[in-house]
Amino acid sequence: MSRGDRLNTRKGPSTSKRVVAKVPDGYVLRNLGCVQRSQRCCEVEAPGGDFTGWAAARFLTESGPPHVSNVSTPPRRPNPAGGVPELVARDSGEI
């Protein structure tokens, strides 16, 4: 991306899906998982759950542990499925 460009996050893992948000370079997103289509796409979530969308993986870089001001830790939710494990974000940024 060029300086000043914004990353399109879309409703689904395709450039034909509608744009749900445009985020600036350096904005920290939570990676919810990736899929391989014609290009690799990752589902991402904004801090605080403001929006969820899909972005081309080639524009995403892994960051270290969350330490940026736009990162928040989501509240823990009860596990309604009983024995199914829940993914939890650690303070280190690992899931």
Kindly report, residue by residue over 69-95, the tens digit of the pLDDT: 555 555 555 545 555 445 555 555 544
Asked if the structure places residue 94 within a domain, the reply is no
Q: If you average pLDDT over every residue of the chain, what do you get?
A: 77
Asked if the structure places residue 87 within a domain, the reply is no
Asked if the structure places residue 39 within a domain, the reply is yes
Kindly report, residue by residue over 14-40, the tens digit of the pLDDT: 999 999 999 998 888 999 999 998 889
Domains contained in the chain, number: 1
- Domain that residue 26 falls in: 6-59
Task: Tell me the three state secondary structure of residue 48.
Answer: helix
Asked if the structure places residue 71 within a domain, the reply is no
Asked if the structure places residue 64 within a domain, the reply is no
Asked if the structure places residue 84 within a domain, the reply is no
Asked if the structure places residue 11 within a domain, the reply is yes
CATH code of the domain covering residue 44: 2.30.30
% helix / strand / coil in the chain, to the nearest 5?
5, 30, 65
